[in-house]
Amino acid sequence: MAIIIDESTRVVVQGITGGQGKFHTRVMREYGTNVVAGVTPGKGGGEVDGIPVYDSIREVMELADASIIFVPAPFARDAALEAISGGMDPVVIITEHIPVHDSIEIMDRAVSHGTRIIGPNTPGILSADKCKMGVMPSHIFKKGSIGLISRSGTLTYEIVDALSRNALGQTTTVGLGGDPIVGLGFIELLDLFEADNETEAVVLIGEIGGNAEELAAEHIKQNISKPVIGYIAGRTAPPGKTMGHAGAIISGSAGTAKAKIEALQSANIKIAEKPGDIPELVKSSI
């Protein structure tokens, strides 16, 4: 199986008439994603490559199940709140540079509605050979039994490619997003992979900053029976310096690669020293 999205997911693209929305809608459809509608306020009645465009989510509530947002940062909050109120699930927010207070409001509304948010500032989610909601390069993915959760977009691609080249296909790959405040995290996704009959092992790609990996390690100790293989990016990052994006900042001894690696190892998680080591660690674990 896959988690969260599959071939039955009906997707609406918010911001479909923009450059990024148009381009990635075409690519998602080429992968097999069931894109049923687009939403751009003021552009209702038009179409993009045969996909009807509407003015609001309210008009597509009976057509779509899930939303992906390619709306510029100043308007992303309103788009996300509209998707949540309209019952879309998941809501994948590709947009970066959303103000923190807007993200806080989005997450608060999502919790109250039971909506799963992926992102903001995420490459999205891809269930191999089933559905893609995001900007991940489709050609590197192969269907298989490895789940992948990542805080780093570029590393996701490198590691998925390494897995695929080593005959280790994937069930679902999820990019958590690079902002300090994001929706779904390691713990929720680990639980979904634990319950998925087709997922044999999970690759967890973390990075410096925050304590998400440490919390995940404690959760794994108590709740996850499947093998987890980890990699932590940013081992040489200096304290206090932003590395890559806003979520990757070390504060004192908290959030360092060393602290995260030690926490994960305490949960009997095999840690790769470099991304290229991951396939062999996976093979030795399943």
Active site residues: 245
Distance CA 24, CA 16 (A): 9
Question: Encoding tokens for residue 199?
Answer: 């997922």
R_g (Cα) of the chain, nearest Å? 18
Q: What is the DSSP string of the chain?
A: --SS--TT-EEEEETTTSHHHHHHHHHHHHHT-EEEEEE-TT-TT-EETTEEEES-GGGGTTT-SEEEE---HHHHHHHHHHHHHTT-SSEEE------HHHHHHHHHHHHHHT--EE-SS--EEEETTTEEEE---GGG--EEEEEEEES-HHHHHHHHHHHHHTT--EEEEEE--SSSS-SS-HHHHHHHHHH-TT--EEEEEEESSSSHHHHHHHHHHHH--S-EEEEEE-TTPPTT---SSTT---BTTBT-HHHHHHHHHHTT-EE-SSGGGHHHHHHTT-
